[in-house]
Structure 1
Amino acid sequence: MSDPAAPRPARRPRTAVLLATALATVTALTACAAPAAPARAAGAAAPSLDGVWRTDGYGTLVTIEGRTLKTYETTALSCLPGAVTGSRAGAPGADGTLRFTVPDSAPLTVAPAGTDRARMAFEDNVGHHALRRAGALPKRCAARPARDPRAVFDVFWQTYAENYPFFRAKGIDWNAVRDRYRPRITATTTDAELFAVLRAMIEPLHDAHTRVVAGPDRWFAGSRPGTVLPTPEFTARVDRAIAANLGPGAVQRHWAGGRLSYADLPGRIGYFRVTQFAKYTERGDYAGDVAELDRALDAIFTRARTQGPTALRGLVLDLRLNGGGSDALGLRIASRLTDRPYTAYRKRVRNDPRHPGGFTAPEPISVRPHRGPLYTGPLAVLTGRLTISAGETFTQSLMGRSPAPTRIGENTQGVFSDVLERALPNGWSFGLPDEEFLTADGRTFDGPGIPPAVRTPVFTDAELTAGRDTALARARELLARGTGAASS
């Protein structure tokens, strides 16, 4: 699912210290559009987007002045400069749409959507973010923020209070958390003491999309209990176990620095492993990621593998060590696996600071078939607790596919939202989720993760010591029998 100030997915490993980022780094070692704006009369001038805008949800103000876009991070008591500063690229579109380039990030667009309304979208994200005109910037947005530890605590607590969606589901009384920890903070609280308090506040959430970063050597990211980050040694053992269980003659071909790999297995079964949805090239930009992913997909999903007597009888999609990245790249793969459009999921964001149950209207996100060879046969998807974030939204996006995939292994990690990245007045940063990814019947898998239909061990010490890969073996067995499409 990163979000430097508003709706950008922090599952892209751009913050470098998070659970998903650490996983992606280690493993690398081895939509339906929103409603269109009303039509303008012929010859009418496109509306100007200059001014101040507030996002619906995300607690963000956006200013557009001439060729520059800036964001501000707001709560009921704070306004800090955001991390997004965009420069307009080219002339406005015929309908007034503006495109902005953002240093070290994907481009974004802002499009008119009616009187005093607009839509903002990041190229590497899915969905849109509604904007409404907001008048002038609040005076506090221009004031120098107080660095007092009490002010830092208050901004941290207030941001979670206004945006975090899962307090009730996790049994956390956030007001009680404030009452417990706020009296411990004074004007003389040290950085070490303050960091320990902020960590203690969010650790019980057990949420891999929560974090606080006080520096390169002082940071904390949450995780579901029992989650252990892989080491290079562990990853090497995993690679050996997978290779030993692919079958005789199987040779893996690699792209994106090893983040994408494919092998033809005996019995006309394909094995496609994806360990990350980001940083497919040294430059690490989204356009380069798309080009490298498409290069791999074109090489994998050939006419020979998708049509006629040599076509695959089944495909294993391995996401067990997937640390996340861009949801849009996951949908790009899903588009090669269907010949009909369908809804991947519906995405909504918490937008009522006073009521945790207040959300925007869910926006449907679609999978649309690729124009080219498609694989539409039986699919087995391997998952585990180290299937994280964009790895999970990709897993969810395949649930509406026909035939439905069989999920094999363990529950995914249980974090789907883009991460709302925020700054603190003392220069630290932190993050939290503020969105839900809904199934067709309104369910979310936040917390427990997406369960498998066939439960097997995933990279346990016993499995790796014995050179076994039960999940992969089970997938091959089901696909060889022609029963690899059986879960919902």
Structure 2
Amino acid sequence: MNDNRKTRTARRLAALLAAVSIAVAGQAGADAASTGREPLDGLWRADGYGTIFSIVQGRLTTFDTTSISCLPGLLSARRTAGTRGEASFAAQEGGRRIAVRTSGPGRARLRYLGSVGAVELRRLPALPAACATLTPGDPLKVFDVFWTTFAENYPFFALKGVDWRAVRDRHRSRIGPDTGEAELFGVLRDILKELGDAHTALLAGDRQFARPLRPGTRQLDGLPAFVAFDKRVREFVERTATRKPLRQWGQGVIGYADLPGGFGYLRLGAFDGYADGGFEANAAELDRALDEIFSESRTSGPGRLRGLILDVRVNLGGYDGLGLRLASRLTGRPYLAYVKQARNTPEEPPGFTRPQPVRVRPASGPVYTGPITMLTSSLTISAGETFTQAMIGRMPRPERIGESTQGAFSDFLWRKLPNGWSFALPNERFLTRDGVSFDATGIPPHLPVPGVLSDEELDGDRDAAFARALAFLASGR
């Protein structure tokens, strides 16, 4: 880190600490003088996530903590509405919405709009001592903060058969005090490649490494590659399966076609990207599409659908809340979607936060309750997978056809490094009613179809998984 960057970082840290100290002192006086519901201003430590949230004068910021470090985090949000014990915030970058409300003496809950579950918070009287000092940005310290953050938050070393201490011993020896940025980036990138976890990323200025997919699955390098492959698959479906163009919504991410015999085909390339403006705008566009797709003529009466093919074989993810929104249009009764937890101990095997059950509830609008087949592949990722998992408890049971999903369910936990770089990792798991996690392995199909969306299939004239799905529905099983 050069001297100018050190000076700027030190000044920012000093200003942030001064503001937090004033807020904490003011909060202590307010708590002593008031017997009413406690306000939100002050410091809050998350259960899990390794994060301290600071709410000061209408602004929410974070500190990223490990056993060896405390750094100002990436999140900065301004208050947009609320009362003394409840407030909404909008992130300055990306406009993500956050809601915080008190839930008892010294307790609060934080929710990210569009995510599922909540982050449990406990009031913190003061920042840890490590937060008051500038963490060195030398290569070894950067490596140690990176490694320790994974050691204390990543839940899946055992599932992946990774000895994390051996990873440290093997790669730390490649770093010295004179290691350059390119070399350091290469070391951290190589570690992420070993994990093969689609919910990891490393951002270092012009150098970026994001979303390495599970070994043995199709590798797509970056968002443009995903977009191009998605377009190729859509054209393949229209040529070989539906044999006509899909009706599209959400900037082409949502597509639907009626099929001969009273069946329907619904394709979702993601649970995001439907509209500009964050979760609310995306939800409104999804609702508009589903209102038209699940019209009264398709959900009741003599012309109603006999069966529906749901295609999430190429689904990059997005908002878990949108997956639940779709699931709510596909059931006439409430049921458990999954249980969500975050890792909250540094030990191995790890401990987890209190289980938070997430339920699917029937929508107030038109719903489809008939037979469903679901097409999945290793490119069913993130919110595409939480949606697939949310459909497991649906009755009648959707028949999954194709390949196992990618095995990356958690939200991204974004963290800062001492040299200004940022990185992401998963720290949550999603469990079935029976306590099963599909992380690392993905959700398996009921009916496997080899070579789903392989280059050989895409260059041919038959969509084998689609044909299997349609035949299953036509059989009436």
Q: Structures share a fold, TM > 0.5?
A: yes
Structure-to-structure mapping, 1:20-39, within 5 angstroms: none
1:247-267 CA distances to partner (integer Å, 9 max, x unpaired)?
46x542101111001111111
Which residue, 449, 457, 460 being the options, matches 1:463? 457
- Aligned-pair CA distance for 1:203: 1.9
**Which residue in the other structure is 2:10 paired with?**
none
Structure-to-structure mapping, 1:88-487, within 5 angstroms: 88-92=79-83, 96-103=85-92, 104-226=94-216, 227-229=218-220, 230=225, 234-247=229-242, 250-281=244-275, 283-456=276-449, 457-483=451-477
Query: Contact 2:241–2:463 at 8 Å: present in 1 too?
Result: no
Which residue, 57, 69, 74 being the options, matches 1:78? 69
| Structure 1 Cα separation of the partners of residues 226 and 80 of structure 2 | 42
Letter in 1 for 2:104: G
Query: Contact 1:350–1:356 at 8 Å: present in 2 too?
Result: no
| Structure 1 Cα separation of the partners of residues 203 and 402 of structure 2 | 33
Query: Contact 1:108–1:121 at 8 Å: present in 2 too?
Result: yes
1:10-34 CA distances to partner (integer Å, 9 max, x unpaired)?
xxxxxxxxxxxxxxxxxxxxxxxxx
**Which residue in the other structure is 1:39 paired with?**
none
Tell me whether 352-361 or 230-239 shows the greater mean CA deviation. Answer: 230-239
RMSD: 1.8
Higher relative CO (CA 8 A, sep ≥ 6), structure 1 or 2? Answer: 1
- Aligned-pair CA distance for 1:286: 1.5
Letter in 2 for 1:339: G
2:36 alignment partner, SS class:
coil
Are the structure 2 counterparts of residues 355 and 232 from structure 1 closer, same or farther at C-alpha, using a change threshold of 3 Å? Answer: closer
| Structure 2 Cα separation of the partners of residues 228 and 155 of structure 1 | 28
Query: Contact 2:230–2:269 at 8 Å: present in 1 too?
Result: no
Identity percentage over the alignment? 51
Are the structure 2 counterparts of residues 159 and 233 from structure 1 closer, same or farther at C-alpha, using a change threshold of 3 Å? Answer: closer
Are the structure 2 counterparts of residues 218 and 247 from structure 1 closer, same or farther at C-alpha, using a change threshold of 3 Å? Answer: closer
Are the structure 2 counterparts of residues 360 and 247 from structure 1 closer, same or farther at C-alpha, using a change threshold of 3 Å? Answer: closer
Query: Contact 1:92–1:99 at 8 Å: present in 2 too?
Result: no
1:284-337 CA distances to partner (integer Å, 9 max, x unpaired)?
422211111111111111111101111100001100110011100100000000
Tell me whether 54-63 or 104-113 shows the greater mean CA deviation. Answer: 104-113
Are the structure 2 counterparts of residues 235 and 189 from structure 1 closer, same or farther at C-alpha, using a change threshold of 3 Å? Answer: same
| Structure 2 Cα separation of the partners of residues 264 and 245 of structure 1 | 15
| Structure 2 Cα separation of the partners of residues 234 and 89 of structure 1 | 39
1:131 alignment partner, SS class:
strand
Query: Contact 1:127–1:347 at 8 Å: present in 2 too?
Result: yes
- Aligned-pair CA distance for 1:462: 2.3
1:29-60 CA distances to partner (integer Å, 9 max, x unpaired)?
xxxxxxxxxxxxxx973321221110000000
2:337 alignment partner, SS class:
strand
Letter in 1 for 2:107: R
Tell me whether 80-89 or 296-305 shows the greater mean CA deviation. Answer: 80-89
Query: Contact 1:106–1:124 at 8 Å: present in 2 too?
Result: no
- Aligned-pair CA distance for 1:233: 6.0
- Aligned-pair CA distance for 1:236: 4.4
Query: Contact 2:212–2:219 at 8 Å: present in 1 too?
Result: no
| Structure 2 Cα separation of the partners of residues 233 and 47 of structure 1 | 51
Query: Contact 1:346–1:438 at 8 Å: present in 2 too?
Result: yes
Tell me whether 459-468 or 253-262 shows the greater mean CA deviation. Answer: 459-468
**Which residue in the other structure is 1:23 paired with?**
none
Q: Relative to total residues, which structure has the larger helix share, 1 or 2?
A: 2
Which residue, 46, 52, 57 being the options, matches 1:66? 57
- Aligned-pair CA distance for 1:74: 0.7
| Structure 1 Cα separation of the partners of residues 188 and 102 of structure 2 | 39
Q: Unaligned 5+ residue runs, structure 1?
A: 1-42, 484-488
| Structure 1 Cα separation of the partners of residues 265 and 66 of structure 2 | 47
Query: Contact 1:345–1:397 at 8 Å: present in 2 too?
Result: yes
